[in-house]
Chains A and B, each alone.
Chain A
């Protein structure tokens, strides 16, 4: 079984290396051809533009009859990618897999997934809610994550050391909202956590009253 798998993977790696025009690269992580690292640039005209995204690739035993396993190494703020684990919700990685797909074509599909989020079939429900509530605010956050984690543009403009990041922007919240509840004596990181979970953004803000938030903060 693994002979055919090895033959196929080697061909795919070589094919990707030979395609100089492709924006996708595949590298070995350790010495195994069955554990690889894919990378591509964030698509233009999206909040991911200018970022460099890395993907962990595991070739299963019965590849290419079973789908390749992929998850983001680079943290991505996207409805179909878990912001915690990098797990990806994409049909071709599951029941729509076909052996005609290759590592290269699958990575290109991930790149297109960044262009066209599917918030109705989310991997990260909180991010999906953010996207549905305010696309502008979502895009700002996604752009911020691209800058912090994927080396996207704007990093030079950051004050202080590169390690210092704005937790409020990371969570896609507004500073004024966080300040308001912090002023009531709650821990800042707890406030950020609660407001993020409650999706305290855009049109949702007037719908969630302060008592509800305080109640959550006291839990």
Chain B
């Protein structure tokens, strides 16, 4: 069978072929690839993307947005999913992609090979970034495993971590008031947040495994979970509002791509329930909370061989770091340092955030 006997390939638009997106990809890899510890990723690449997209023809736009649209439709219908789920093996996620985009499957394998064997999912309700971060933040204050240290030492470490976190969170209410939030709208959220933290170190809390199980339970009580999410939204907003010079150049309307002022952006896309977080909100929140986080981008996109080192895998996963530079001077203020150094790691798929873990199950 000669090559000419083969049926012709159907014409297909590949978003990876579009030069401007490709360019974005290069910048992204060069500045924040796994080998570069360059600190906070430049917010530019995500934020300017809508502007680039608006110049594309409709057909390419469809090709670009369709996977994302499918993804969000999937998550929106999914109201039965717990707000925060128990830890599941990554292989479960893998099976969901087996009949779909094979790049996702390869990227999942890449993560599993490197020890990221567990995923803790959140409900796809627009609060997923804040909820994932909240859970991972609190969880990072607790001992990660019972192997390395004796029980007493672990207890002492988590009491110190949690106590610092409580005093830091309580101190942030002044920041919220300083940007004009009335105490009555946020004090209940803060009380519940602090209450969850206090519960972790109370004498009746029990040992590590039980504390974790209780934390998952509490995160599934809508009032508690949503109060914590809301407090993080307000903290994000307060950070942006109190440093407009740092953030205003990067505030764009997520749908129209138009530049926005600080107040409209914060009211419409930070403080409002269910509005998804983008690069700006993530940068602001990690700074306001004084935590370092890493986000693994499981985006189903093949890295172009020319843009990465020849030895690197084509379906590897970028870990974007959000590093809070104030952490050094304020090291004693509830910094979310994990007990065994792993830190807060989130897993991003187009339109959604979950939590990435090294353990298979709770």
Interface residue count on the A side (C-beta < 8 Å) = 18
- The proximity string for B residues 247-278 relative to A, scoring 1 for CB distances below 8 Å and 0 otherwise, is 00000000000000000000110011110000
- The proximity string for B residues 218-262 relative to A, scoring 1 for CB distances below 8 Å and 0 otherwise, is 000011001100100110000000000000000000000000000
Say whether B182 contacts A102, CB under 8 Å.
yes
Say whether A1 contacts B223, CB under 8 Å.
yes
Say whether B182 contacts A97, CB under 8 Å.
no
Interface centre among B192, B226, B273 (most CB of A within 10 A): B273
Say whether B222 contacts A62, CB under 8 Å.
yes
- The proximity string for A residues 90-126 relative to B, scoring 1 for CB distances below 8 Å and 0 otherwise, is 0000011111111000000000000000000000000
Contacts of A65 in B (CB 8 A): 222-223, 226, 230, 273
Find A102's partner among B184, B222, B233 (CB 8 Å cutoff). B184
Closest CB-CB distance, A6 to chain B, in whole Å?
11
Interface status of A219 (Cβ within 8 A of chain B): no
Contacts of A102 in B (CB 8 A): 182, 184-185
Closest CB-CB distance, A11 to chain B, in whole Å?
4
Say whether A12 contacts B184, CB under 8 Å.
yes
Residue of A nearest to B227 (CB): A4
Contacts of B189 in A (CB 8 A): 99
Residue of B nearest to A12 (CB): B184
Say whether A97 contacts B184, CB under 8 Å.
no
Q: CA A128 – CA B329 in complex, angstroms?
A: 58
Interface SS, B side: helix
Interface status of A15 (Cβ within 8 A of chain B): yes
Contacts of B227 in A (CB 8 A): 4
Say whether B184 contacts A98, CB under 8 Å.
no
Residue of A nearest to B270 (CB): A98
Closest CB-CB distance, A108 to chain B, in whole Å?
13
- The proximity string for A residues 5-20 relative to B, scoring 1 for CB distances below 8 Å and 0 otherwise, is 0011001100100000
Say whether A96 contacts B222, CB under 8 Å.
no
Say whether A8 contacts B188, CB under 8 Å.
yes
Say whether B184 contacts A99, CB under 8 Å.
no
Closest CB-CB distance, A17 to chain B, in whole Å?
13
Say whether A1 contacts B222, CB under 8 Å.
yes
Contacts of A8 in B (CB 8 A): 184, 188
Say whether A98 contacts B186, CB under 8 Å.
no
Q: CA A95 – CA B230 in complex, angstroms?
A: 15
The number of inter-chain residue pairs (CB within 8 angstroms) is: 48
Say whether A100 contacts B234, CB under 8 Å.
yes
Residue of A nearest to B267 (CB): A98
Q: CA A22 – CA B274 in complex, angstroms?
A: 31
Interface status of B181 (Cβ within 8 A of chain A): yes
Q: CA A64 – CA B231 in complex, angstroms?
A: 13
Given contacts A4-B223, A62-B222, A98-B273, contact A15 B188 (CB under 8 A): no
Closest CB-CB distance, B335 to chain A, in whole Å?
27
Say whether B274 contacts A95, CB under 8 Å.
yes
Within A27-74, the residues touching B (CB, 8 Å) are 62, 64-65
Closest CB-CB distance, B188 to chain A, in whole Å?
6
Residue of A nearest to B224 (CB): A4
Say whether B188 contacts A96, CB under 8 Å.
no
Closest CB-CB distance, B279 to chain A, in whole Å?
21
Find A97's partner among B188, B222, B272 (CB 8 Å cutoff). B272
Within B186-217, the residues touching A (CB, 8 Å) are 186, 188-189, 192
Q: CA A11 – CA B268 in complex, angstroms?
A: 25
Residue of A nearest to B230 (CB): A99
Interface centre among A4, A15, A62, A99 (most CB of B within 10 A): A99
Find A96's partner among B182, B186, B272 (CB 8 Å cutoff). B272
Contacts of B226 in A (CB 8 A): 65
Q: CA A4 – CA B189 in complex, angstroms?
A: 10
Say whether B181 contacts A100, CB under 8 Å.
yes
Q: CA A101 – CA B271 in complex, angstroms?
A: 10
Contacts of A100 in B (CB 8 A): 181-182, 185-186, 234, 271
Say whether A64 contacts B185, CB under 8 Å.
yes
Q: CA A184 – CA B226 in complex, angstroms?
A: 64
Closest CB-CB distance, A181 to chain B, in whole Å?
46
Contacts of A98 in B (CB 8 A): 233, 267, 271-273
Q: CA A62 – CA B233 in complex, angstroms?
A: 18
Closest CB-CB distance, B266 to chain A, in whole Å?
10
Contacts of B188 in A (CB 8 A): 4, 7-8
Contacts of B182 in A (CB 8 A): 15, 100, 102
Q: CA A12 – CA B183 in complex, angstroms?
A: 11
Q: CA A12 – CA B184 in complex, angstroms?
A: 8
Residue of A nearest to B274 (CB): A95
Q: CA A43 – CA B233 in complex, angstroms?
A: 32
Q: CA A100 – CA B231 in complex, angstroms?
A: 10
14 A-B residue pairings within 8 Å (CB atoms): A4-B188, A4-B227, A8-B188, A15-B182, A65-B222, A65-B226, A65-B273, A96-B268, A97-B273, A98-B271, A98-B272, A99-B185, A99-B230, A100-B185
A residues near B (Cβ < 8 Å) are 1, 4, 7-8, 11-12, 15, 62, 64-65, 95-102
Question: 5 tightest A-B contacts by CB?
Answer: A98-B271, A11-B184, A98-B272, A100-B185, A65-B226
8 further A-B pairs in the complex, CB-CB below 8 A; given A98-B273, A100-B185: A1-B223, A4-B188, A62-B222, A97-B273, A99-B189, A100-B186, A100-B271, A101-B185
